[in-house]
Chain A
């Protein structure tokens, strides 16, 4: 975009970009460097030896998989219904869903707090999975519906003339067709669920149920504010996300842009 007429201009751009990007790298350097102070790699060994660390990881995986699956199934069904089937008052229902799009999760706090206590859902995966999924579904439906509406009706008519019922259409046309947009949905749902902090903080008080985002607090208690161990645990919990991103880089970016650009 920037036109560079000669080599010195090109070098200037490269330097400008490098200087601008340094602040983004800096906290990561601080994190890794801090985690290696004192006992060096020993910090990591101490952290990994803490019993129950894997439990946090496992809980996060269970919750994330639960949210992604729930959002995927519910959103795909709804998007097909909204895009290609007959519903009286369709747009009214759609707006009801879209009304949930801007909802800050903290708004759910007081009612869920009271309800979960009453229903005994406190300290269960459900207390976190269901509200997180409910918050993600509207955007997912919006994306997939838009995508499906771009598919010509003739395709759907053709397969139904061949005798497929609504379920057949869903199974053999909708599911394969929407694969690109579905991976986008899966990815932003995954980031949201994996990184969520508020819901586990409030609804998962029992330690054996807690998630990775609560690990720093756990280690603050465990190591009496020994910063090097806390930073080592931060590196360990950040690592899976960075590795996942590096491997799936293009999918992640496509997932993000899917919402804004058609």
Chain B
């Protein structure tokens, strides 16, 4: 490669710049001060494609959303009337379905995050212990991550139906009195959606915790053992604080995941019964595709966008602050 592009004009220059100045200082101190400083080429052309693709497309969409959200528009007709803030003020603020979706998202996040964290950590700890056939267990826990929720949806619809396999298992366990139409009633449908999500995503928590635990200094654990710390004590006092960074990363992923939720409530429970599994994603979809309320959907999108940004930043700030103390 050196043959093709020997010393080019823009590579070797004398103009002092902050970078080249620093580079020259460093080199001067170490070995050969005779070599002229290399000025770094501009990186702008290199980052340009990413900016065009992401900033171009996404910021365009966000901006366009902002504009559409001030319209009363079906997405097709020319000259839609402007309604100013009304999609937000008289629309979203007083929309019981929207507030329901927010409530479901919050409940869903707490349930799935707690369950996935608990199970993921438990599996990670168990598989770091002396158990046989560890690989088999790992594969079983992780395979759901690989499978598309959309492909598994028919399976879950069948499984949780009144004559489905879930109720059957309850009968076999002597818990037949618990059997009920899990998907068909408002009181349990959200639970089913959460359970499916836990099934799908525990593998991620497990793999991350498994890797994080592998990095804990063994001598710390051995020392705790010598001091008489039992299994639970070691997990609570050493493992849990050591994987704190991973927990925050997973919390951020779960928050964003909860706000993004679409496939499972759309396909398994069809956002029902009575909007009991309505989420922001499914609601926006219905507004755009089924109901042609594109203006209102755009306003909902802006709210969703702000929520996910604010929550993600808040979690990041918290996780950084915790590290300092």
A residues adjacent to B (C-beta < 8 A): 1-4, 10, 13-14, 16-17, 20-21, 23-28, 30-31, 34, 70, 73-75, 77-78, 80-82, 84-87, 90, 93, 96-97, 99-115, 117, 130-131, 133-135, 137-138, 141, 157, 160-166, 168, 170-172, 191, 194-198, 202, 212-216, 220, 227, 230-231, 234, 237-238, 241-242, 244-246, 249, 252-253, 256-257, 259-261
Chain A residues with Cβ below 8 Å from B126 are 1-2, 13, 16-17, 20
B305 proximity list for chain A (CB < 8 A) = 103-104, 107
Given contacts A93-B47, A231-B154, contact A21 B141 (CB under 8 A): yes
Is there an interface contact between B148 and A81, defined as CB atoms closer than 8 Å?
no
With a cutoff of 8 Å between Cβ atoms, the chain A residues found around residue B60 in the complex are: 111
Please report B residues at the A interface, Cβ cutoff 8 Å: 1-2, 4-8, 11, 17, 19, 23, 35, 38-47, 49-51, 53-55, 57-62, 64-65, 68, 75-76, 119, 122-123, 125-132, 137, 139-156, 158-159, 165, 169, 199, 202, 204, 207-208, 211-213, 215, 221, 225, 231, 234-235, 239, 245-246, 249-250, 256, 259-260, 262-263, 267, 280-281, 284-285, 288-289, 294, 297-298, 301, 304-305, 308-309, 312
Query: Chain A residues near B234 (CB, 8 Å)?
Result: 1
Q: What CA separation (Å) do A105 and B58 show in the bound complex?
A: 10
Once A131-B57, A197-B263, A241-B146 are accepted as A-B contacts, the answer to whether A110 and B47 lie under 8 Å apart by CB is no
Most buried by B among A2, A220, A238: A2
CB contacts (< 8 Å) of B204 on chain A: these are 256
CB contact between A110 and one of B7, B46, B123, B301 (< 8 Å): that residue: B301
- In the assembled complex, the Cα of A31 lies from the Cα of B153 at a distance in Å of 10
Is the pair B61, A111 in contact by a Cβ cutoff of 8 Å? yes
Contact B140 A25 (CB under 8 A): yes
Assembly CA distance A231 to B155 (angstroms): 7
State whether A216 and B151 are in contact (beta carbons under 8 Å apart), knowing that A97-B54, A97-B55, A164-B2 are contacts in the complex: yes
* CB-contact partner of A78 in B49, B213, B231, under 8 A: B49
- CB neighbours (8 Å) of B212 from chain A are 260-261
Contacts A1-B125, A77-B50; is A130 near B284 (CB within 8 Å)?
Answer: no
Among the listed A107, A113, A134, which residue makes an inter-chain contact with B294, where contact means beta carbons less than 8 Å apart? A113
Instruction: Give the one of A93, A107, A161 with max B CB within 10 A.
Output: A107
Given that A77-B47, A230-B154 are contacting pairs, would A197 and B41 also be in contact in the complex, using a CB cutoff of 8 Å?
A: no
Inter-subunit contact B256/A104 (CB<8 Å): yes
Hey, which chain A residues are within 8 Å of B61, CB to CB? 107-108, 111-112
- Asked if residues B147 and A23 are in contact (CB atoms below 8 Å), the reply is no
CB neighbours of B288 from chain A (8 A): 109-110, 113, 202
